Amino acid sequence: MKNATLYKTDEIASRTNLEFHFDQVPKYWFGEDPFKTRFFDALGLSFPDGEKFFIQSVKAFRDKVTDPKLLNDISAFIKQEAQHGIIHNLMNENLKKQNIPVKRLMGVLKNSLNYNKSLEFNLAVTVAYEHVTALLAQCLFEDRQVFAEADPRMQALWIWHSIEEMEHREVAFNVMKQVGNVDEEMRVIAFRKTFSLIFDSALGVANIMLRCDGFNHNERKLMLDKGKDWLFGPKGIMSTKMPLILNSLKEDFHPSLYPIINHYDVWVKAIEETNDPIYAANKFWEAGL
């Protein structure tokens, strides 16, 4: 897209030693709603292995990169993604205490990524995942009502993760464009498959979690039907972003065509001052009310 504005953050910051107090998070932390809670728990389960996959996919092409800025961005991308995996592993430890078969379900999610594709296709899949997770930030936090009922500690987790996804959202894309040897057809195929995979896998794993929680088949079906409507119904949180999703299939797509989430700067200032993600999330949240 010629002369289009690209929205970029000032830096890709590596933030470590963050404390979310997961031991204080209630079982059904999303407004006491089992489906919403388990859907996001399922997404969280996928991140540790998913982040490793994204890092490996980008690192496979790093030796071909000559642009100094992109090399620095790759290093920052790797640090952020590694930290995401560490933090979500800590959250996943809580699920073990709830008798959720974490190891088995992580294996299911890991297998769904299909690590046997070419390096080029894996990079295209990574670009797709990075774009969808950056869009998730807009789905969850542009309208403060969407995530308002979530426990403050989990709000802090998802705000932190979403904001950092926006910071590094174009790194894998730039690697793909500069040295990835990925044509447009492969990119679009990878995006279509990845978008379906993310939600199909999370819904499937959420269903298993709800079964582990003791809900019978009919109860789970009602929860899943209502949950799918919340996600993809006429007013669903993903449906409202469908134009942005469809734009991802256009030949002139670029992940930074979409504005940075409102009050990003408020969160960054608060986290720099305190290194407290819960405090930063509260400041971010208050700024949008």
Query: What integer pLDDT is reported at residue 2 of this predicted model?
Result: 52
Instruction: Write down the pLDDT at residue 240.
Output: 81
With 70 as the cut, is the pLDDT of residue 257 above it? yes
The answer, yes or no, to whether residue 114 has pLDDT greater than 80, is: no
Q: What is the pLDDT of residue 238?
A: 86
Work out the pLDDT band at 4, boundaries 50, 70, 90.
low
pLDDT of residue 88: 95
Task: Give the domains, in start order, of the chain with CATH numbers.
Answer: 30-261 (1.10.620)
**Residue 64 belongs to what H/E stretch?**
none
What gap in Å lies between CA 87 and CA 18, rounded to an integer? 8
Query: Does 259 have pLDDT greater than 90?
Result: no
Whether the pLDDT of residue 55 is over 90: the answer is: yes
pLDDT exceeds 60 at position 8: yes
Residue 288 pLDDT exceeds 90: no
Q: Is 37 exposed, middle or buried (0-12, 13-18, 19+ CB in 10 A)?
A: buried
pLDDT digits 0-9 by tens, 164-196: 998 999 999 999 999 999 999 999 999 999 988
pLDDT digits (tens, 9 = 90+) for 206-216: 999 999 999 99
Mean pLDDT for the chain overall: 91
> How large a percentage of the chain has pLDDT more than 70?
97
Q: What are phi and psi of 145, to 5 degrees?
A: -70, -25
pTM of the complete model: 0.93
pLDDT at 3 exceeding the cut of 60:
no
Comparing 241 with 183, the larger pLDDT belongs to: 183
Residue pair 144/288 in contact by the 8 Å Cβ criterion? yes
The pLDDT score that the predictor gives to residue 202 is 94
Closest CA to 146 of 40, 276, 246: 40
